[in-house]
Amino acid sequence: MSAGTPGSTQSDPSKPGPEPASETGGLDARVTVRRGQFVLAVDVQVARGETVAVLGRSGAGKSTLLRTLAGLLPLDEGRITLAGQVLDDPTQHRFVPSERRPVGVVFQDYLLFPHLRARDNVAFGVRARLGQGRRHARERADSWLERFGIGELGDRRPGALSGGQSQRVALARALATEPRLLLLDEPLAALDTTTRGEVRAFLRTVLPTLSAPVLIVTHDPTDAEVLADRTIAFEGGHVVDTAA
| pLDDT for position 1 | 40
pTM (2 decimals)? Answer: 0.86
Each residue of 12-29: pLDDT tens digit?
Answer: 444 444 455 656 689 999
Report H helices in the chain. Answer: 62-70, 118-130, 134-147, 163-175, 193-206, 221-227
The SS3 of residue 94 is: strand
Each residue of 161-197: pLDDT tens digit?
Answer: 998 999 999 999 999 999 999 999 998 888 888 888 8
Instruction: Please name each of the domains of the chain with its CATH number.
Output: 21-102+179-243 (3.40.50.300), 114-178 (no CATH)
The identity of residue 170, as a single letter, is: A
Closest CA to 161 of 150, 148, 176: 150
Rounded Cα–Cα distance for residues 47 and 23 (Å): 9
Percent of the chain with pLDDT over 70: 90
> Interior CA angle at 98 toward 102 and 146, to 5°?
50
Each residue of 51-69: pLDDT tens digit?
Answer: 999 999 999 999 999 999 9
Each residue of 88-142: pLDDT tens digit?
Answer: 999 999 999 999 999 999 988 888 999 999 999 999 989 888 788 899 999 999 9
